[in-house]
Structure 1
Amino acid sequence: MGASPTRRRHVGIAGLVAATLFHSYAAAQDADGSAAESLGALDAPSTERALGPISVTGAPLPGSPLSQAADVDIVDSDAMEAQGASNLGEAVDDLAGVNSISTGNSVGKPVIRGLSGERIKILSNGVGVDHQQFGVRHMPTTDTFLLDRVEVVRGASSVLYGSSALGGAINLLPPDIAWDTPVEGETLTRYSTNNDQWDTGIKASGGNGRLGYAAGIVRRSAGDIETPDESTYFPPPPAERFRDAPAYTGQLGYTDFDQVNGDFALGYRDDDGGKWTARYSRFNDEHNFLLPPPAGNLPPAAGEEGVGQYIDNEQIELAGEKQVGSITWKPRLVWQNNRRRSNVAGTPRAAGFDNAIDIEFDQYTARLEGQHGPVLGLDGGTVGIEYVTKDQVSRGTTQLSPGGTVDNAAIFAFEEKGIGDLLLQAGLRYDHHEVEGEASKTANPSASVVDADKQSYDVITGSLGGIYSLTDRLSVAANVGRGFRSPSLFELYAAGQHGGVAAFQVGDPDLEEETSLNTDLSLRWASDTLRAKATVYRNTIDNYIFLRDTGETMAGLPVLANDQTDARLIGAELSIEADVSDAVTLSLTGETVDGERRDNGDELPLLPADSVSLGADFTPANEGWLRDPRASVKLSYYASKDAAPGEPFAQFDDAPFGSASTDDYYLVDLGAGFSPQIAGQTVHLDLAVNNLLDEDYRGFLDTYKGYALSPGRDIRLTARLPFGG
């Protein structure tokens, strides 16, 4: 825990969709440890920067980053904390092809290659979890401080994770138990100037060789965010030229939040090398969202209004790792309880819960994976079975998403075979998925829920990837993967006002499952001084589910109905890191994605704007008390972008104020830090300055863009004190 943090460390570990591997299996495959050590090579121009042996998600067998087929990036805990990330979206949005849908500082929903929400699978230690993703502002219920690292898998991942992994998967890995150390841990204190946010936390781990523990708790408390104090406008218009002016700037009321999140685990190691853990985690959040006028209870001239929301997520995981013969078995049992409550528009959280929307589910997952070595001429792989059952109730006065049940049973296999300089990886999976809306579990059911029949989907998915090593440093990889996603209870039976997006939303019980065919091709280079990756991809989705603007209104709000069409996404990503000296690293990332409906050519919603970023990291030699100095600067350019028809908040392009389409803009971010020893104890001190120039802009994936500016300058000061070890 006392190692000094460096620049943001995200390791480009390629791996196709398969099981999470652990280090003991890697050691069994490569007794001298070279395979495990090579996992850090792509981000480690020197041994001092190497991350050491790490577990990898998405590879049937461990190996060099250049010997895996699909893209996996890793962002570790040190990097997330040094940059001051306060949500999952912020932690990963510097990666090429990965973005974040934001709503103030409380919400960060990851976007992978233009897909988000129900099309990105969020995993907890390799097991899928849910956070009612149907809302564009519904953030994942996890805390970055309580994670060891985040692994981002790009591309269709249904072979391993089933429904909802059309665009990729994000695996959230908790800290490992320090089995042979009585105690090691870290305290965190952070202050963010923009919204007067304080983060305080502590985490620790230890053990006596056989028994072990890991625990952590963090509180985040924030006020309202600040935007540049520019001119505002709301009808009646003095002139047409003011039409795009935002309704609100400066301090945005009702953007505050308060969270207390925790995690606790107990572990046992048996005499035969098996590991068994029980883990409990909880995410508890209260926040306000600033509503667009006139979505609240008062006339717009009365000023800003908010809506209060309350989120509680609990999770228990029982997990094991045990080698029996030539197979390492990994059983998982997970229970998740998630409750989301929301007031009617115009009632903030300070007023208490008004019983408008109250949706709660219990989800149980049983998963068994077996990892094996060479068999039947194959080099090794993973086989597994999984069963998931979800029971949901809707108690509020507004139905929105109803009560009901969701069941999924699956069997899968993923194997690897090397032929000279060519490595092949292939997988196959079968899912039986059932969804049923139930009026008995819905307080105020709509007619479609009362008449609902059970919907069943039987889907076979597969993937085939290959990587060819042209030289010791250069390789080319190609992947073809089929993914699927079954309609959710919300998409089938939604009925009610969704205050967070200022619209009425309606389901369609006749929706079919989405199926996708994802292909990508990448060229990769890795050496001691240069890491580079260029990728192009194409993802075609049949029966793509989207919200269609019906042209009707209810209580002055647009009525959006779930509908289907075929869609296509085409994109490219580029990332380069070059060590120009022992102390200076230059970086370049760029991305573009185009997505459209294949029936009429309309653009798909919530695609990120094209962007390019140039960065420089400085790690000069230590200077006495100024230990491990570090600094960084990044210049980012985001292209202008038009809102897609029917996109959430697209109505502001036609309103007499605000805009859902955005202009191009530049942002400058700075970072600095060092790790002095104070009274013999190392302290990590980091400074992150976002939007240094206080730029007046609207981010395209900022859900406040329709009626407010994006956040202004934000200075985040972080102090971390490791202990024990």
Structure 2
Amino acid sequence: MYIRNRNIFTSIFIIMNILSFLIFNNISHAESESGNLKGLVLKSDNTPLSNANIILPNLERGARSDGQGKFTITQIPAGTYQVVVKYIGYKPEIKIINIVPNQTVEVEFTLNQTVLASEPVVVTGNPIASDPLNTPQDISCLSGREKIRMQSASLGKMIESIPGIYNMSAGSVAGKPIIRGQTGERVRILSDGIAQEYQQYGERHAPNIDPFNYDRVEIIKGAASLLYGSDALGGAVNLIPWRLHIATGEKTEFDGSLTSAYQSNNNEYMAGLKFGGSKGKFGFTGSIVRRNAGNFHTPDVKPFSKTQKRGDPKFTGEIGHTDFEQINGSLALGYLTSAGLFSFNYDHYLNENNFLLPPGLPIGLRLENQIATLKGNLSFGRFVLQPKFSYQRNQRQAAIPGNSRDVLSDSPNVDLVLDVYTGRFEVKNVNTLNLSGTSGAEIKYYDHANIGKVLLQPTGHFTNLALFSFEEWKTEKFTFNFGTRFDSRSQKFLGSSDNPLLPADDERNYSSISGALGISYKLLKHLTAAANIGRGFRTPSFYNLYVYGYHGGVFAFQIGNPDLENETSLDMSSSLRFRSNAVEATATIFQNRINNYIFLYNAPDHPLAPAPDEASFVFAHEQSDALLTGLDISIKANLLGWLVIGGDYSMINSEFSNGPHNGKGLPLMPADRANAEIKFILPNTSLIHLPYILLNVKYVNDKSAAGIYEPFGQFDDGIGPDIPFGVASTEAYTLLNLGIGFDIDFFNNQINFDLEFTNLLDEDYRDFLDTYKGYALSPGRSVNVRLNIPFSA
């Protein structure tokens, strides 16, 4: 049956691609069916605004305004488009234009300075590019001036200030995003809409991708399997690259920025370059960033060896073996033809770091990730065809526990290699039968090789085939969207005499149907109510099914379960959103009911557990049904012009809902969290704009570990051999943070400067999601400086 389905899927995909190329080989008249856009961007005082970013989201094209605030974009296919104009520190403006063949449309934009510059259009998790105020799905975005201020080596750390988003950390280098209690293999990390693999099963296996190389980050809170398949059961984080600025003028354009940063806590230095430009129909963007960091520091309190008090940290002050070094970069090339835009994107991530183990010894890691993507954005009447092909290679190497990254040899203890090929073909329709949306097919081939000495995850491969359709119907006040997706997967695992779970080759098939149904209604000009129901799924990973070995990063022996079934979820949310020039506020309640929830539990008596003298802690896989409910509330208000007040609150309740685990809490659930901040906007001068002083107070409630189900639960009493130091459950804490910043006019650009004092009072605490909590405190005070200098020619 699967072979038949596979042949059907493959045939459909090939036919769709052949049709697309046949179509575009026969549209030599395309240029005659296109028009031009000419515009002017002004400040509120009617002076020109140069270097503003002009974007046509549905065409993935853009331009920049020149020194007189003018811009021209030629060869735009006839049709109706959103045009977004943005500039850091100014409120974006959107206009709808209608391009007529062989004519030039002229438009004028006026941007006002603001401290509440939210992203006006998002492209993630929706049938079409949409205003996040009116999307049925709950979508957040980090971009512009706020992204510069929050820039970090850790993706999880950078976005954790967004309500409903948390960070599972391991020092300053590793941070995994948690979306409403879901992370790892239940949250998809995307690069320009293509799912990324990074051995995400490990609690300390953070995404191998650098946000510096991308324009913005969009986050879907809730099931996103409809567009992104397995592992998007809890949500998705999409990193959107810089759009190519191909205006097709003959003038050569070149711009970019230099960025530098320093963090005192771990003596971290960062230097980065972004650049882009165009000439005629050719455009390019690129970036390179280098980071070098030492060990992080905690408040210098007495450790357990001095106090002999149960639960006190084993290590304080400088936490050895937590250093890291990175060099990451990206390059994109694009060419505009009569059929549309074709582009190539390459992203490279290279990281070496140490983790500290409980005995005080290091374990060195080397992580490398490469992404190469070919894509087209091709307009044809009311349709836009978007073929995409992506290749990803991910390699994770780890030394023998006790060895640092400095001696990581050519034959490391752990050496896992992934090769992932993804072909995705989408047809987007614009206002066809009053519907706009996307339909498509996706083929993914995943090949995993374990070439190291430790078994962990077996060698094998899978092929995943998918068909999906997601449409939207919209009126002046209503937005209604709906869609469905079918996935079929074939997996093969190679047997090993060293793995009792997999003594011989094993082949198996999975399939799943997912979908979504959402509605939003504009109650008032600035107030929208939204509701969404989504069905997500997750196929058990190689690791879930067949892991059998010692996992050094979590100092436990782990055992898979070949009988695991697909996880499926029913995710429901309701939101009330308000946005005006002075106030932005959101309140959301959600429920996620997950069937066959996969988890690890402490299993010293498992029939395949090694002898106690070989492994002190043994964790095995099981599954049960689970229920998560929660609430996110946020508000930010600029009521007096010079004063901005804001706050947010996020909470989650979770429990197993059947079987012997019924009523018990789920593992890795975030503690309740509240933030409050006051931002003082100081007067502008002739040189300095929007100077500010920001005071932030963060409160995190106490949290009890989920007993035998909690990773790192061995640091609480009653699990395995007695450990007198460290904790798995954590106490409440409050942190005070202070920020100062401003922008400086510089040759028609604005330099951005931020000075930040985190954990200003040097509070000693342990965060529940800090994976070092079992033997160290969380980081102490840090003085952080960031400088961004744009340039243009």
TM-score by length of 1: 0.90
Relative distance call for 1:706 and 1:340 in structure 2 (3 A) is same
Matched, 1:513 2:562: no
Structure 1: how far apart are the matches of 2:628 and 2:754?
A: 38
Relative distance call for 1:64 and 1:363 in structure 2 (3 A) is closer
Cα contact 1:82–1:687 (8 A) shared by 2:
no
Cα contact 1:634–1:670 (8 A) shared by 2:
yes
Matched, 1:401 2:457: yes
Following TM superposition, by how much is the alpha carbon of 1:195 offset from its aligned partner in structure 2, in angstroms? 0.4
Structure 2: how far apart are the matches of 1:162 and 1:632?
A: 40
Instruction: Identify the residue that residue 148 of structure 1 maps to in structure 2.
Output: 215
Structure 2: how far apart are the matches of 1:573 and 1:596?
A: 19
One of 165, 172, 193 as aligned partner of 2:264: 193
Following TM superposition, by how much is the alpha carbon of 1:417 offset from its aligned partner in structure 2, in angstroms? 1.9
SS in 2 for 1:449: coil
Cα contact 1:77–1:147 (8 A) shared by 2:
no
Instruction: Identify the residue that residue 288 of structure 1 maps to in structure 2.
Output: 354
Instruction: Identify the residue that residue 300 of structure 2 maps to in structure 1.
Output: 229
Relative distance call for 1:277 and 1:62 in structure 2 (3 A) is closer
Following TM superposition, by how much is the alpha carbon of 1:602 offset from its aligned partner in structure 2, in angstroms? 1.6
Following TM superposition, by how much is the alpha carbon of 1:28 offset from its aligned partner in structure 2, in angstroms? 7.3
Structure 2: how far apart are the matches of 1:647 and 1:367?
A: 37
One of 503, 506, 523 as aligned partner of 1:470: 523
Instruction: Identify the residue that residue 298 of structure 1 maps to in structure 2.
Output: none
Unaligned runs of 5+ residues in structure 1 are: 5-19, 294-303
Amino acid at match of 2:450: S
Higher Rg of the two aligned structures: 2
Instruction: Identify the residue that residue 83 of structure 1 maps to in structure 2.
Output: 150
Matched, 1:683 2:751: yes
Matched, 1:641 2:703: yes
Matched, 1:597 2:597: no
Matched, 1:617 2:695: no
Instruction: Identify the residue that residue 472 of structure 2 maps to in structure 1.
Output: 416
Structure 2: how far apart are the matches of 1:208 and 1:238?
A: 67
Following TM superposition, by how much is the alpha carbon of 1:317 offset from its aligned partner in structure 2, in angstroms? 0.5
Q: 1:36-82: CA deviations, max 9, x gaps?
A: 9999589xx98323568755222224444332201111101532222
One of 533, 542, 546 as aligned partner of 2:599: 546
Instruction: Identify the residue that residue 448 of structure 2 maps to in structure 1.
Output: 392
Amino acid at match of 2:394: N
Cα contact 1:485–1:514 (8 A) shared by 2:
yes
Structure 1: how far apart are the matches of 2:571 and 2:380?
A: 36
SS in 2 for 1:275: strand
One of 607, 612, 630 as aligned partner of 1:571: 630
Structure 1: how far apart are the matches of 2:763 and 2:747?
A: 41
Following TM superposition, by how much is the alpha carbon of 1:325 offset from its aligned partner in structure 2, in angstroms? 2.8
Relative distance call for 1:531 and 1:559 in structure 2 (3 A) is same
Relative distance call for 1:476 and 1:323 in structure 2 (3 A) is same
Cα contact 2:91–2:111 (8 A) shared by 1:
no
Matched, 1:374 2:431: yes
1 or 2 for the larger relative contact order (CA 8 Å, sep ≥6)?
1
Matched, 1:629 2:681: no
Structure 2: how far apart are the matches of 1:314 and 1:337?
A: 5
Cα contact 1:518–1:537 (8 A) shared by 2:
yes
Structure 2: how far apart are the matches of 1:576 and 1:52?
A: 16
RMSD: 2.7
Instruction: Identify the residue that residue 536 of structure 1 maps to in structure 2.
Output: 589
Relative distance call for 1:453 and 1:76 in structure 2 (3 A) is same
Cα contact 2:119–2:143 (8 A) shared by 1:
no
Matched, 1:315 2:355: no
Following TM superposition, by how much is the alpha carbon of 1:540 offset from its aligned partner in structure 2, in angstroms? 0.6
Instruction: Identify the residue that residue 201 of structure 2 maps to in structure 1.
Output: 134
Following TM superposition, by how much is the alpha carbon of 1:595 offset from its aligned partner in structure 2, in angstroms? 1.2
SS in 1 for 2:304: coil
Structure 1: how far apart are the matches of 2:533 and 2:635?
A: 25
Instruction: Identify the residue that residue 342 of structure 1 maps to in structure 2.
Output: 398
Q: 1:410-469: CA deviations, max 9, x gaps?
A: 000011123674321101000001222113xx7x74132332421211111111111122
Q: 1:198-220: CA deviations, max 9, x gaps?
A: 10111100011301111111111
SS in 1 for 2:725: coil
SS in 1 for 2:604: strand
Cα contact 1:693–1:713 (8 A) shared by 2:
yes
Cα contact 2:58–2:81 (8 A) shared by 1:
no
Relative distance call for 1:370 and 1:554 in structure 2 (3 A) is farther
What is the number of equivalent residue pairs in this alignment? 688
Relative distance call for 1:420 and 1:632 in structure 2 (3 A) is closer
Matched, 1:499 2:557: no
Cα contact 1:380–1:417 (8 A) shared by 2:
yes
TM-score by length of 2: 0.83
Structure 2: how far apart are the matches of 1:116 and 1:194?
A: 27
Amino acid at match of 1:285: N
- Greater shift, 668-677 or 102-111, is seen at 668-677
Structure 2: how far apart are the matches of 1:24 and 1:144?
A: 21
Cα contact 1:39–1:65 (8 A) shared by 2:
no
Relative distance call for 1:475 and 1:140 in structure 2 (3 A) is same
Instruction: Identify the residue that residue 791 of structure 2 maps to in structure 1.
Output: 723
Following TM superposition, by how much is the alpha carbon of 1:557 offset from its aligned partner in structure 2, in angstroms? 2.4
Instruction: Identify the residue that residue 435 of structure 1 maps to in structure 2.
Output: 491
Matched, 1:111 2:178: yes
Same amino acid, percent of matched pairs: 37
Structure 2: how far apart are the matches of 1:546 and 1:602?
A: 13
Amino acid at match of 2:171: G
Relative distance call for 1:711 and 1:149 in structure 2 (3 A) is same
Structure 2: how far apart are the matches of 1:264 and 1:516?
A: 37
Cα contact 2:86–2:93 (8 A) shared by 1:
no
Structure 1: how far apart are the matches of 2:653 and 2:256?
A: 44
Q: 1:311-369: CA deviations, max 9, x gaps?
A: 11111110110012321011110000000011122111122235211100100000011
Structure 2: how far apart are the matches of 1:61 and 1:361?
A: 31
- Greater shift, 345-354 or 23-32, is seen at 23-32
